[in-house]
Structure 1
Amino acid sequence: MSNATDCQPLFAAVPAQEAKRGSGSWHFLGRVSRLPFRAAKGARCHPFLTALFLLVLLAGSGAGLWGYASHQWRGAQSALNAERPDEARARLALCLRVWPRNPEVHLLAARAARLTGDFPAAEAHLNRCLELQEGATEGVQLEFLLMRVQAGDIDTLAPALFRLVDQKHPESSMILDSLARAYIHRLRYKPAYGCLSRWIEAQPTSAKPYYWRAWALERLNNPKAAKLDYARALELDPNLLPARLRVAEMHLEDRMPDDAQPHLEYLQRQSPDDPRVRARFGIYHYLRGNAAQARELMEPALAELPTDAPLLITLANLDIQENQPERAEPRLRAALRADPADTEALFALAAALRLQGRTQDAADTLAEHDRKRAALARINAILKDLTDSPTGTADNDAELGGMFLEIGRENVALYWLERALERDPNNARAHRTLAEHYQTKGDLPKAEAHRRQARAPATIPTPGAGTRPAP
């Protein structure tokens, strides 16, 4: 054991006068280089103090990490409430490292993953909850159900979920939110409207259901009621950016830039770096006839919003006005790649092609515009008047699927065709449409299977078959 006389203070300082002695800095650096050895010697001489120091250091680090993780946990909850699931997942990554065995953290991580559409990650977190809790809690079971709903299994699960809402389940708002989003994703706006109305009844001071119901009302061709719901959402939450942005867009679509101006100015103060705000301000200036200011705002925004249809179409129209149809054409084709049924883009493309002297291409594009415009009108009529109504039939769903294929929306088309066959497995119209679709895709076995089904004799439907009232 070392003598007490050999022991120095744990972290002995270099005397100031020694730093000035001898050859100056070389002597000083030599003393500094021996600091680790002095520290080790001090640790041997003062083991208790060393241990205490390290314990305090570790405790401080642990407390700091715990506090930071708690901050991230609260931030993740706020991000989910504000519909920012990607941000929530980033924050929860640290929480999962600090609390890897906490089922509550895994449950929230599952919810965030589900809302971003990452079902494998959501399922992995839920399975981890099952392991940690040695079984399924009510919260885990509910999250599994909502994941299935979001994946498309709506009609099977909706009755059970509505019963939970009727029983005043504490997560009723989340249940109605998830159901409404699933219906909206599949263009079933009537049941979505019903879910959102029930949410408003349960939480009349929440802005979010008013915003989503306004969105559904627009699709049900009721812009007047939609504006009232948007206005109510902004009364409850003036900083609800999506609602205010949509109100500004509606005024711009109606070519009423003066009515859009106060909303755009509010958005600019609230979120000055948002490219969507800059883009809409550019459209505002375009409608006011300020071409230079419009282009100055829209061109930089396009780098961040390369598939934004209103921005692309407005820039293209500005190009056409300035007799630059060659610049307009690629913008419009980009908009059509994002949405082949964008009739406004098709009409502008026909104009751009005509200005280039490509009369036949312009005529073909205009014919496509007329065909898709008629198809969209029929689609909107079916969605508004027949879908999810007592008079709706499997044949309506099959017609809807065929029209979505016609305008280039394959995923939505397949959903409606499959739904038609769920309601009537022998529906010839759905089978014929699917046979033609798979033939075009080169999937000959599927095409032949549906062709055989289309030729099969139809069975006599039982009373009420082919109808399914909305929940």
Structure 2
Amino acid sequence: MWISGALLVLLVWPLQAGVDWRPAETALDQGRFEEAAAMARGVLRHDAVNSTAHVTLARALMGQNDAAGALRELSAALQSGPANLDALYYLNKLSTVLAQQEFARLYGAAPDSARVHQLLAESLHQQDDSVGEEREYRAAYQRDPKSVPVLNALGDLLRTQSRSTEAMSFYAQAEKVDPRSFDALYGLGACEFKAEHYRLAIEYLTRAVAVDPTSSAAQFAFGETLLRDQQPERAEKVLRMVAAREPSDKQTWFLLAKALRQLGRKQESDEAFARYRKLSQSQMETP
């Protein structure tokens, strides 16, 4: 039967203009996932970019243990609206479930492997359990002493606890395995800086910046170390690059002011210090 364009619009319009999703919500709450999925698919047949329908279908598929299908629908919802909060929320939940499933598979296949201990350490890190984190990372290290991520993680953990000598031993091992490991080079530079071995710190930080020129943290550390080593001219150039990239970082402006003052450029130093004071004041006023 032939249907006019206007009538077709009227038939489809209620689906496009506003769908009552309460029955679908009720079905999801009561575990009637097939019913909720059928409703969502019905809407998508007429409106393929309806983000609410994609999210509803994803939730129904999650209830049916179809993780791949749920991921597909959430991805479609985010294509329609990258800031869709519901899609982002359920994607986070789905990611957690998938991670748990994959960990269970890994644990079942190799319960005492380096990877399992590494994942346990990362989980304990999120729980602020530094003792357990170190224990698991050391277990991972014993099983795979050439794992660069594990070596760097141990170095980072020990460095935050001011155990620089131990940290450096792990960073050094990581650097030996991978001479271009940014984390190892940055860690070694930070440890040498703390020990006031500025020339050694400069060597490591120079290499770290070469590996990742976009790292503001490495550039800042490099500039600060140059300043401590009485190289204000080089420090100024580095710190200006950091300031251009991170104009709201007050510490960069403070160090830049010091470098300029050491170079005898008082007016520029005063201007940089004024930026530092303004940023400090604004951050104090921010609740």
Amino acid in structure 1 at the alignment position of 2:8: L
Residues 17-28 of structure 1: pairs in structure 2 closer than 5 A:
none
1:122 matched residue in structure 2: none
2-structure distance, mates of 1:182, 1:92: 34
In structure 1, runs of 5+ residues without a counterpart are 12-35, 41-50, 74-89, 108-128, 309-471
- CA distance change for structure 1 residues 186 and 284 in 2, over 3 Å: closer, same or farther? same
Partner residue of 1:9?
7
Match of 1:66 among 72, 75, 85: 75
The structure with more radius of gyration = 1
Measured at CA, do residues 181 and 257 of structure 1 come closer, stay the same or move farther in structure 2, by a change above 3 Å? Answer: same
Is 1:142 equivalent to 2:151 in the alignment?
A: no
Contact kept, 8 Å, 2:154 with 2:170, in 1: the verdict is yes
For 1:203-233, what per-residue CA distance to the aligned partner results, in whole angstroms no more than 9, with x for missing partners?
2222221011111122234222111111111
Contact 1:130 / 1:136 at 8 angstroms: preserved in 2? no
Amino acid in the other structure paired with 2:75: W
In structure 1, the residue matched to 2:240 is 265
Deviations 1:146-200 (A, max 9, x none): 454763326644542221323x5xxx33322221122112211111001111111
2:172 maps to: 197
User: 1:293 maps to which residue?
Assistant: 268
Decide whether the 8 Å contact of 2:256 with 2:269 is kept in 1.
yes
* 1:187 corresponds to: 162
Query: Quick check: 2:232–2:263 contact (8 Å CA) kept in 1?
Result: yes
TM-score after normalising by structure 1: 0.39
Q: Distance in 1 between matches of 2:208 and 2:194?
A: 18
Cα offset for 1:271? 4.0
* Alpha carbons of structure 1 residues 249 and 68: separation in structure 2 relative to 1, 3 Å: farther
User: In 2 relative to 1, CA 218–285 (structure 1 residues): closer, same or farther, beyond 3 Å?
Assistant: closer
Cα deviation per residue 1:340-393 (whole Å; 9 max; x = unaligned)?
A: xxxxxxxxxxxxxxxxxxxxxxxxxxxxxxxxxxxxxxxxxxxxxxxxxxxxxx
DSSP-derived class of the 2:93 partner: coil
Select 2:94's aligned residue among 101, 122, 128: 101
Distance across 1 between alignment mates of 2:84 and 2:267: 42
Aligned equivalents of 1:273 and 1:64: distance in 2? 39
TM-score by length of 2: 0.60
Aligned partners of 1:6 and 1:94: how far apart in 2? 36
Query: Offset of 1:267 from its aligned partner?
Result: 2.7
Residue in structure 1 matched with residue 143 of structure 2 by the alignment? 164
CA RMSD of the aligned region, Å? 4.4
Q: What is the distance in 2 between the residues matched to 1:37 and 1:59?
A: 18
Listed as ranges, the gaps of 5+ residues in structure 2 are 15-40, 55-71
Q: Is the 8 A contact 2:202 2:226 kept in 1?
A: no
Matches within 5 A, 1:420-459: none
> How many angstroms apart in 2 are the aligned matches of 1:223 and 1:232?
14
Partner of 1:177: 152
Letter in 2 for 1:192: A
Aligned length: 228
Residue identity matched to 1:161:
A
Aligned match of 2:130: 152
Cα distance between partner residues in 2 of 1:135 and 1:269: 45
- Contact kept, 8 Å, 1:103 with 1:132, in 2: the verdict is no
2:47: which partner in 1?
57
Superposition pairs of residues 51-450 of structure 1, within 5 angstroms = 54-59=44-49, 61=51, 62=54, 65-66=74-75, 95-98=88-91, 100-103=93-96, 107=99, 129=100, 133=104, 136=107, 141-148=117-124, 151-153=129-131, 156-157=135-136, 159-166=138-145, 172-305=147-280
Name the CA distance, whole Å, in 2 between partners of 1:297 and 1:256. Answer: 18
Contact 2:189 2:205 in 1 (8 A): yes
Please report how far the alpha carbon of residue 295 of structure 1 lies from its aligned counterpart in structure 2 after TM superposition: 3.4
Cα distance in structure 2, aligned partners of 1:131 and 1:234: 35
AA at the equivalent of 1:10: L
Query: Does the Cα contact within 8 Å between 1:8 and 1:38 map onto a contact in 2?
Result: no
Corresponding residue SS for 1:205? coil
State the one-letter code of the partner of 1:152: S
